[in-house]
Amino acid sequence: MKNIIVWYATLVLTSLKSATSRRLAFLFSVLMMVANNLLFFVTWWIIYQKTPSIGGWEFRDVQMLIGITTLSYGLSVLLFFGAGKLSDEILDGGLDTYLMAPRNTMLSVSSSKCNITGLGDIITGLILLGIGVNSPTEAVLCIFFSMTGAFIQFASTVLFHSIAFWLSGLREVSDLASSTLLLLSSYPGSLFTGMVRVAIFTIIPAGFITTLPVQVIRTLDPVGAAVIIGATVGYLALASWVFSRGLLRYESGSRIDLGGQR
Amino acid sequence: MRLSLYSTLFLLGFRTELRLFVATMIRSTFLLLLLFIFSRLWALILPDGLSMPQLLWYFLITELIMISTPRVYLRMERDISDGTFAVLIQKPINYATTRIAESLGVLLGRLPSFVTLGATGTLFFTSEVPAGLRSPFALIIAFLLIYLAASVLTISYAIIGLCSAFLRDTRTLSMVWDKGVWLLGGLMVPIILYPPWLQQIAPWTPFYYLLFGVAQIALNGVTVVCIHTAIALCLWGAFGMVLVGLLQRKIASDIIGEGG
């Protein structure tokens, strides 16, 4: 396990080094992403000027929600950005280069690319959570649930893109599912009832990224926390299983390049 | 001769878009999802003086402008990074106008299907059309204004695309621009519900006319404000084209000066 973590950290650091080689462009991207997230937050501030609560969700809850969403999304794209390109790799025969390496293929693909704008998301998340939390316990829980959220986003992305192993013409559907996950994570859970509520706790697990964590932080409910941890482990296991089943169907693109940053 | 060339590119973009059925369906699904979320939001916090159909049709119009506008900056960024731009500026055509003409054709190709699916979805969620949009005349004016606003937004995206010559990656710049449109254009919330100080700032920006100026037709119907919006959009569009021309000239001179 320790070896895998060291290996993965080395891969991500290499990707990060490459992505930050142009200092000014890097700083500009990060600052723009912070501005982008804060502008979204201001829109919610405007809505809350008209109402104290949206279905029981107060402004502080939405602040926590956006903080957790941006922090978990930032971590996800910084550490696992390659997962979002998985369907391209599958359909273009790009997995060949990763299969040659004596390492976990899913992790190798996921760490092969790094989106530096994720740092802007992380900074925004920390700012919003920094001014939104009331106690050290809340702060620790927010950070912890941002990390579980990042893992759920990663697992979901792998699941959505693994569709390409079975159905080749649905590349856009994978992207749509990933966008939908982010969209549903960015709005108060009280907006979703009935079948949509079922969907956010199953096929598009946005409920485990923000809705349930905000409720757990609000009520300090240990059962809710255990459910989130269980869901995180469950989605990661499912993603790993589906990916390995999909690899059995993978047809080589006969690539002979040596991989690396592509 | 040049005008016919640009109109040919416009038609090419239009016809290509008509064939991209899957992409249109996926964008429409996303639009319907957004409409669902906002129908839930407005059901929970309906502001005084506005009805649910007014707010949802308002949101449909703002979202149609945002979702149907082609992201021409992605194509321009690619052209600049892979050298296509350097090749095309030597041809007897205007590079930026070419890309904008193509995008306007794409816009015309995708807008009717988005309008149809979006209006059907909105009717499903509200089962009512606001009074201001009930006449065929109002619907035609709304369609024309949506097309005009999306065209001006396309020009602004072309400016962002040209900026890639200096920034390399314009993703974050385009995101901030989009959020500016969201906020000061009133994508989620009509500007009349904003704090007074923000209501005063918004009309000094193009964002106000790009979204709120057009979508207010769902709140108030066809009024003299529509003419005001159309004129403002034309002026901002003309200003945008001047910027496009200046930026393109600057990039071209840099490329020629530095040897391509």
Domain boundaries, chain A: 22-249
Highest mean pLDDT among A21-30, A229-238, B67-76, B159-168: A229-238
C-alpha distances out from residue B160 to A37, B167, B187, Å: 19, 10, 20
pLDDT at A171: 72
Side chain identity at residue A8, one-letter code: Y
Q: Nearest CB to B26: which of A29, A32, A173?
A: A173
Q: Contact A40/B179, CB-based, under 8 Å?
A: yes
**Could you tell me which of B83, B81, B63, B62 has the C-alpha nearest to residue B73?**
B81
Task: Output the pLDDT for position B14.
Answer: 79
Contact A35 B22 (CB under 8 A): no
Distances, alpha carbon A159 to alpha carbons A106, A235, B12, B54, in Å: 11, 9, 37, 39
Contacts of B30 in chain A (CB under 8 A): 176, 179-180, 183
Q: Answer yes or no: is pLDDT of B147 > 70.
A: yes
CB contact set of B245 (below 8 Å; sequence gap of 6+)? B96
Collect all residues of chain B within an 8 Å Cβ-Cβ radius of residue A57: none
ipTM for the assembly: 0.76
Does the pLDDT at position B150 exceed 60? yes
Confidence class for position B1, pLDDT limits 50, 70, 90: low
For residues A233-246, b (16+ Cβ closer than 10 Å) or e, as one string? Answer: eebbeebbebbeeb
Q: pTM of the predicted model, to two decimals? A: 0.83
Q: Does A56 touch chain B (CB under 8 A)?
A: no
**B12 pLDDT exceeds 90?**
no
Q: What's the CA gap between B229 and A149, in Å, rounded?
A: 43
pLDDT beneath 50, residues of chain A: 259-262
- Mean pLDDT (chain B, rounded): 88
Handedness of CA B205, B209, B215, B217 (dihedral sign): positive
Cα within 13 Å of Cα(A231), Cβ side: 28
Query: Taking Cα atoms as reference points, which of A162, A184, A180, A182 lies closest to residue A171?
Result: A162
In terms of DSSP H, where are the helices of chain B?
Answer: 2-19, 21-44, 52-68, 72-82, 84-88, 95-126, 136-167, 171-185, 196-201, 206-207, 213-215, 217-220, 224-257
Beta carbons of A39 and B182 less than 8 Å apart: yes
What confidence score (pLDDT) does residue B149 get? 97
For B147-161, what is the mean pLDDT?
96
User: What is the spatial distance between Cα A6 and Cα A103, in angstroms, rounded to a whole number?
Assistant: 13
Is residue B133 a contact partner of residue B142, using CB atoms and an 8 Å limit?
A: yes
| Both structure tokens of A204 | 């598009």
Mean of pLDDT values over B201-209: 94
B179 touches chain A (CB under 8 A): yes
On the question of pLDDT at B72 being above 70, the answer is yes
Q: What is the pLDDT of residue B257?
A: 63
Distance CA B173, CA B175 (A): 5
User: Considering only CB atoms, which chain B residues are within 8 Å of A51?
Assistant: 45
Predicted pLDDT at A254: 55
Mutation choice for A interface testing from B27, B176, B183 by most A CBs within 10 A: B176
Q: Is A167 on the interface with B (CB under 8 A)?
A: no
Residue of higher predicted confidence among A37 and B25? A37
Quote the pLDDT of residue A262.
42
Which CB contacts under 8 angstroms, 24+ apart, belong to B250-258? B251/B80, B251/B85, B251/B162, B251/B165, B252/B89, B254/B165, B255/B85, B255/B86, B255/B89
What residue type is assigned to position B118 of the chain? G
Report how far residue B135's alpha carbon sits from residue B214's, in angstroms, rounded to the nearest whole number: 16
Mean pLDDT, rounded, for B137-143: 94
- Chain A residues 81-120 with a CB less than 8 Å from chain B: 117, 120
Asked if the Cβ–Cβ distance from B195 to A46 is below 8 Å, we say yes
Question: What does B4-70 look like in DSSP terms, one character per residue?
Answer: HHHHHHHHHHHHHHHH-HHHHHHHHHHHHHHHHHHHHHHHHSPPTT--HHHHHHHHHHHHHHHHHS-
